[in-house]
Structures are given as structure tokens and as C-alpha cells.
Amino acid sequence: MSKPRKTRKPATTDAIVATMPPGVEADPLRDPSLYFNRELSQLDFNFRVLAQALDESVPLLERLRYLCISCTNLDEFFEIRAATVRHAQDFGLMVAPDGLSPATVLKRIHERAKELVDAQYQCWNDVLRPQLEDSGVRVLSRGTWNARQTRWLRAYFRDEIMPVLSPLGLDPAHPFPKILNKSLNIVVVLKGKDAFGRSGHLAIVRAPRSLPRIIQLPENVSGGEHDFVFLSAVLSEFVDELFPGMEVKGAYQFRVTRNSELMVDEEEVENLALALRDELVGRGYLRAMRLEIAANCPKPIVRTLLENFDLPESAVYRIDGPVNLNRVIQVYDLVQRPDLKFPPFQPRVAANSDAIFDLAAEGDVLLHHPFDSFSTVLDLIKQAAEDPNVLAIKQTLYRTGKDSAIVEHLVQAARNGKDVTVVVELRARFDEEANLGLADRLQEAGVQVVYGVVGYKTHAKMMLVVRREGRKLRRYVHLGTGNYHSGTARVYTDFGLITADPDIGNDVHQIFQQLSGLAPAIALKRLMQSPFTLHAGIIERIERETRNALSGKPARIIAKMNALNEPQVVRAIYAASQAGVQVDLIVRGACTLRPGVEGISDNIRVRSIVGRFLEHHRIYWFDNDGDPELYCSSADWLERNLLRRVETCFPILDPELRARVRDEALDNYLADNLNAWELQADGSYRKLSPGDDAMPHSAQSSLLAKLCG
């Protein structure tokens, strides 16, 4: 259970109105006390991830994986979210609906993040590492190496590590070197004189990215089949060999996390691809956000590092263990112990690979990943590439992964004479370089590549296939809540829809026209789209439920997403709650809405599910007076998704498929009492558990049993 955050006491409607000056007509739903801070809420999600690492019912190596995920998430949080707050502070940007200044948010981020880091290392040192050792998987610390292990590691250091190191002594001729984002480094305190008679003081040893961060010892040397050592431990132990004739008084590992948000003024550049390539060169050396350093490092050295990185004291994280703890994920990959991992499952195949067009022509096909195989989507693209009746393929690509089969099928389609257009989003965070290479590969094959729209990331997941059938052309469409990425489709929960519905096909055609040309924003018949109609469409449907409740009609909203912070949507939900609408929100990560406030949000429940798979679907369900509407979308209810991105939101029109989505991804998750956390009015999350009369229920496990059993 995550520790409660210190938050302001929630205000009731009467209390809010009472604080307003006489004669001022206030909107009580704008009161800052009704909003959690988005960054702090996102940070708290990692406590729920870490709780999985401490859960004894989870297989041991999976618990290790959850620990690493929480560490990696924290890295990215500082690279993006905390860096954004720092930027807002520097430029005096407006405060968020929660009323907190950027300086206050940064202060609270560091306070809360240090609690998380302490919990992560306690989990590693006191729980997982000992339990792994009991199970025959040993990550050996320096003090436990025996003579044989030490000899082998020393030889490994001399043969494999030392030749690629370039230690740098710090003096007027050798200023502090550039330190790459999240790289492993050792600051060394020296005594004595070097070959030129210079007195030693401090030196920096940088570990190149080419070196493995986890080293596996041979079984015939160590005695264990699964014995590992951190590179940081090897460097610290043998660093004296880099400074012959000098005395090493201390060696302290450190790591700096930097801002990784690329800043390209798209309206000022003539070629976005070239501008991004230039920005990527310097990304690893942008502004520092956090310093992790060995717990025993002397204060004067810490001060020296802080001055060099232009960081305040609050940004120092003293680490009781390796500063790159997330690298222990390699142990998960290297250790083949099925008994310590989740049991494998076989996704079901929803369609015959040679008959997808025939199947879609008969009726819509719904895919629920990872329980339904992503191979159906790959087969659709492959069949489209090979079918002589297919004339054109249009697709968006945001993240695809390495060696993507989708890309190969698109290349083959172009070689087969199809008209292939691909919208590649170059600004997909941390995939920019990969997407630049992807765009080059597609263009070389004759694919028409479009980079999207200036100022709006193309985050929509859609594919359009135009096929000649007799004397007519027919459009087949795939729309999804997740990326065209075979890897994430095995571990993320997402929905995909394959349909030949002519209205949906025409809507998708119109969106592609907007992206590849200069088509106007026209009214779509079935889809809602950001940045034009989705935001207003969501608010309109929430307000419709509000009106129905006020009229005494049935009214309910159920929505599932990754994050929620758009203030107009939040206010509309508050108003719906005040009208008596029951609102159930399943929000995996950040949620700025405060539930359970008397007179304002008493009818709102917010829960977060953290389990084996990353919850990624976006689903919106509205009762609509007994004629329910259900939508799936690529968009969370975030400001960026609803107002500053190209997103799609598509209806599930088939009543049977609509009932299936409601059952599998909404009712099923609302019944979860094993992996669910409920957001409280004070901002903390309470882990749910089965009551005395309730049967234990895991939404993900039930889907595995039902769909893959």
C-alpha cells in the first residue's frame, strides 16, 4: 500500500463558496483543492508498481522485473515530467489547476522520489536479493567474493574492461568532462604524483555503453549456475589498477539524469527530420535533473559534482547499492528458470490468415491483446501486400520496435506496385532515432512517407486498405488503442478493430487526407478525432449523462485509460457526479481528479489496476438512457491527447462486440479485488482485497483463463 501524500483537505461545495469574496461569482469546480498535481500523481504510480515487487504471490523473477520497471519509470519521470516542471519554473509559466507553483512541485517531487528510491533499495537489499540467493540466483556484492571469484573478476577487468576505459584526472588542463545521461561513472580520490609529477586529487572514470552492466561468472569458477556481479562493483574494486603508483583513497559511483525532451521549433525549421537528427546528437547532454551517488561519498565531492551539474542539494540521491539498479533486469533475461516466472500462455488466433478480408466483409473483428494474437494484424498487412486486388495501403506508425515485420510487409507492398502511404511520427519520445531510420527505409522502397502535422503529434493507430472487389472499391480498416508493435502487443492490454464499415472507412480516409495533404477538417460520421471533435465530443456525452440524471433517467459513465488531467473534462465529471451520475474510472497512472469529496465527487470511484500486463486500453462507455455508446481510442483524457495531438476515437457498433468489450475490459476490471488500487480523497491509494463474502478475482487472470485456456 502506497503511503499517503501530504495534501490539502478536500473542500466541500459550501466551504468553497464561503471563501469567495462578496459579489464574486465563482465556479466552485475550479477550486485548486479539487485537483491533484499531475506530476506527483504520476510519481505515485511507481509505488504501486513497486508493490508488485513485494507481493509474495508473484513469481520471484517477475518481482525483480517490477522493481526494475519502477526504477526505469523513475528515470523517465525525471527526464520528461520533472524536466517539464523545471522548464515551467525557469520561464514563469502558468500554474496548473492544482494551484501549485513549479518550484513547489519540484520540491515535492524530490521529497516523494526520495521515499520511492529508499523503498526500491530496501526492496532490493532486504527482500529480493536474499530471496534470489535462496533460489540459486546470486548477485554477489564485493564483500562476498571468494578468492577464486576475485581472481577471475580481476582478469576479466584487465582483459575486457580496462582496455576501453579512459580515466581523466581533473586539473586546469583537464576540466570536468561531459557526463552522458544515465551513464555509469566513478569519481576517484587519489593521493600521490603521476608520471609527470602532477599531484593527484580527483579523477573520473566513465564506463562506456559498450560494457555490460551485469557480468555473469562461469559456473566452473563461481560454483553457481546463476552468479552475477554488477559492473559498478568491478570498477570500484579494481579501479586502483588504472592509477599505478598512486594511492586510491576512495572510489564512488555516480550517475546523472538529464532532461531528454527534444525542443524543436517545428514552425521555424524547413526539414523536421534534419532538425531532429541535429537535436538527437546533443540529447544525452541536456540539463541535469538528478544526481545519484554512493551513500558513502564525502560531502565535498558531492558539492563539486552539484556545482558542475548546476543542481541544488535537493537533487542529490544517496544510493545504498548500485546507482544503475534497473540494469539488474538482465538477470531476468539471462536466467532461464520457468519456475520463477509467470507461466507462458498461447494467445488465440482470431482469424485465418488467408481469409481476413472475407471475415471482415462478413462482420467486424475485435482483437483483445495480448489474449488475442497480434499475428492477425500482421497477416492483414501481409495479405494486403500480396493480394493483387489491393490497390492502396495507408498506415500510421508511432512505435514499431526493432526488425518490425510490419515495415517489411509495407516495403513488399510498395515493391508489388501498391500505393503505400505511411505517416511516421518522428517525435515519438525515445523512438525518434529509430523512426528516422524507419522513414529512410520506407522511402528507399518507394513508400510515400509523411511526417504528420506541425505542432501535433500523430498518435492515432489506424490502417486503411483499399481493395477492388468486382466493379467497386472497398475499404478495410484497422483501428487500435495501442501501437503497431509486436513486442508490446504481448505485454500491453489493447483493443483492435478490423472493419469494412463504409462510414468508418470513409472517416479514416478523410483523416489520412488531412495528414498527407491539406484537406479541411470536415465532420466525420462515426469517429471522433483530436484535435477537432474528440474533446468536445467527450464533454458533450458527459453532459448528456448529467442531463439524463437530472431528468430522472438512468445515467452512468465508465471509462478506462492510462491517465486523466484535462480540467474541462474533470469539471464535467464533477458536475455529472453532483447530478447523481455514477462514474467509474479505471485510470492506470496519473489522475488529477479527486474522488469522494462531499457534494462534488461522492459518486465517482477511481481505481488503478497493476498486474502482469500493462493496462493500456482506452475505453469510454456512456449509458445514454439505455442505448449505450462505447468507444475505444488512442487517446487518454489528457490535455496533450485531446488538444495537441492527432488521435482517433472509434465506436464499437456491433452489439455483441460492444457487450464483449463491456464485459472483458470494464465490468471485469471493476470486479478485480486482487490487483486493484482505489484512489482516496486524500490522494493515497488503498489496495483492495476480497471481503469476507467475496471470491478473489483478478481481471487479467480471468481473461487468460477465458480466452487462452
Residue-wise DSSP of 595-619: ---TTTTTTEEEEEE-SSSEE---E
Mean pLDDT along residues 617-644: 97
1 pLDDT band (50/70/90 cuts)? Answer: very low
567 pLDDT band (50/70/90 cuts)? Answer: very high
Q: What's the confidence (pLDDT) of residue 18? A: 46
Residue 412, C-beta contacts closer than 8 angstroms, at least 6 positions apart: 385, 386
Helix segments in 123-227, DSSP class H: 129-134, 147-156, 219-222
Q: Which of 110, 226, 369, 459 is catalytic?
A: 459
3-state SS class at 706? helix
Q: Are 347 and 467 in contact (CB under 8 A)?
A: no
23 pLDDT band (50/70/90 cuts)? Answer: very low
pLDDT digits (tens, 9 = 90+) for 508-548: 999 999 998 866 778 899 999 999 999 999 999 999 999 99
Give the residue from 172, 50, 168 showing the smallest Cα distance to 117: 50
- Structural domains of the chain in order of their starting residue, each with its CATH number: 134-340 (3.30.1840.10), 356-521 (3.30.870.10), 529-708 (3.30.870.10)
Active site residue 459: yes
Q: Give me 605's grid cell.
A: 470511484
Residue 583, C-beta contacts closer than 8 angstroms, at least 6 positions apart: 556, 557, 558, 559, 573, 576, 577, 603, 604, 605
Highest mean pLDDT (candidates 64-68, 173-177, 512-516): 64-68
pLDDT digits (tens, 9 = 90+) for 328-344: 999 999 999 999 999 99
11 pLDDT band (50/70/90 cuts)? Answer: low
Whether the per-residue pLDDT at 71 is higher than 50: the answer is yes
Cell 516542471 belongs to residue:
85
Q: What's the confidence (pLDDT) of residue 481? A: 98
Q: Helix 432-444 crosses helix 405-415 at what angle (to 10 degrees)?
A: 20
Q: What's the confidence (pLDDT) of residue 20? A: 46
Burial class of residue 391 (count of CB atoms within 10 Å of its CB; 0-12, 13-18, 19+): middle
Q: Are strands 556-561 and 582-587 parallel, antiparallel or unpaired?
A: parallel
pTM value?
Answer: 0.92
Whether the per-residue pLDDT at 345 is higher than 80: the answer is yes
pLDDT digits (tens, 9 = 90+) for 351-402: 676 789 999 999 999 999 999 999 999 999 999 999 999 999 999 998 888 7
Whether the per-residue pLDDT at 35 is higher than 50: the answer is yes
pLDDT digits (tens, 9 = 90+) for 402-450: 788 999 999 999 999 999 999 988 766 666 777 788 888 899 999 999 9
Burial class of residue 104 (count of CB atoms within 10 Å of its CB; 0-12, 13-18, 19+): middle
Measured between alpha carbons, how far is 16 from 669 in angstroms, rounded to an integer?
34
Residues in the chain: 709
Question: What is the average pLDDT value for the chain, to the nearest integer?
Answer: 90
Residue 471, C-beta contacts closer than 8 angstroms, at least 6 positions apart: none
Mean pLDDT along residues 549-573: 97
Q: Are strands 316-319 and 288-294 parallel, antiparallel or unpaired?
A: parallel
Asked if the bond preceding 97 is cis, omega within 30° of 0, the reply is no
Measured between alpha carbons, how far is 203 from 693 in angstroms, rounded to an integer?
64
> CB pairs under 8 A, 24+ apart, for 61-66?
61/132, 61/137, 61/331, 61/332, 61/335, 61/337, 61/340, 61/341, 62/340, 62/341, 62/342, 62/612, 63/128, 64/128, 64/132, 64/328, 64/329, 64/331, 64/332, 65/329, 65/332
Name which of 208-212, 338-342, 475-479, 535-539 the model is least confident about: 208-212
Measured between alpha carbons, how far is 470 from 361 in angstroms, rounded to an integer?
14
Q: Give me 688's grid cell.
A: 483492495
C-alpha to C-alpha distances, 417 to 237, 380, 411, nearest whole angstrom: 61, 17, 10
Start-to-end Cα distance in the chain: 31
Q: Give me 442's grid cell.
A: 520506407
Q: Which residues pair with 174 in a beta bridge?
A: 171
Whether the per-residue pLDDT at 272 is higher than 80: the answer is no
